[in-house]
Homo-oligomer: A and B are copies of this chain.
């Protein structure tokens, strides 16, 4: 699939307050995550995966936590990276937020 338009309605509801759209080629995937249930009192539990991750904050404000690093207050236009196997998480500071997360290899569990 060479393009995924926002108005194609290809979002998957991951849980109430979070939808995800994905595009991928070969071993590279980008996922657009739309959060609508902020702000959060607490961060999500930290998680890790062998996949490399780079992320772009397209909208909203978050705190990004990554194992061994100081916490980072990020807003629209900022970017972060999560190395393979490093525990990381976010806390939503705004009501809504959009993250654009890229992964290598594919997050197979995201593919419907």
Chain A contacts to B: CB under 8 angstroms:
1-6, 21, 23-30, 32, 52-56, 58, 64, 66, 69, 72, 74-84, 100, 102-104
- Docked Cα-Cα span, A81 to B30, in Å, equals 9
Most chain-B CB neighbours within 10 Å: which of A52, A54, A76, A80?
A: A54
Q: Is the CB of B26 within 8 A of A84?
A: yes
Q: Is the CB of A83 within 8 A of B5?
A: no
Q: Closest residue of chain B to A100, judged by CB?
A: B56
Q: Closest residue of chain B to A21, judged by CB?
A: B79
Q: Is the CB of A25 within 8 A of B3?
A: no
| A32 and B104 contact, Cβ closer than 8 Å, known pairs A2-B69, A64-B3 | no
- Docked Cα-Cα span, A72 to B1, in Å, equals 12
Q: Is the CB of A28 within 8 A of B52?
A: yes
A25 → chain B closest CB, angstroms: 4
Q: Is the CB of B3 within 8 A of A104?
A: no
| A26 and B83 contact, Cβ closer than 8 Å, known pairs A3-B78, A6-B78 | yes
Residues of B within 8 A of A5 (CB): 74, 77-79
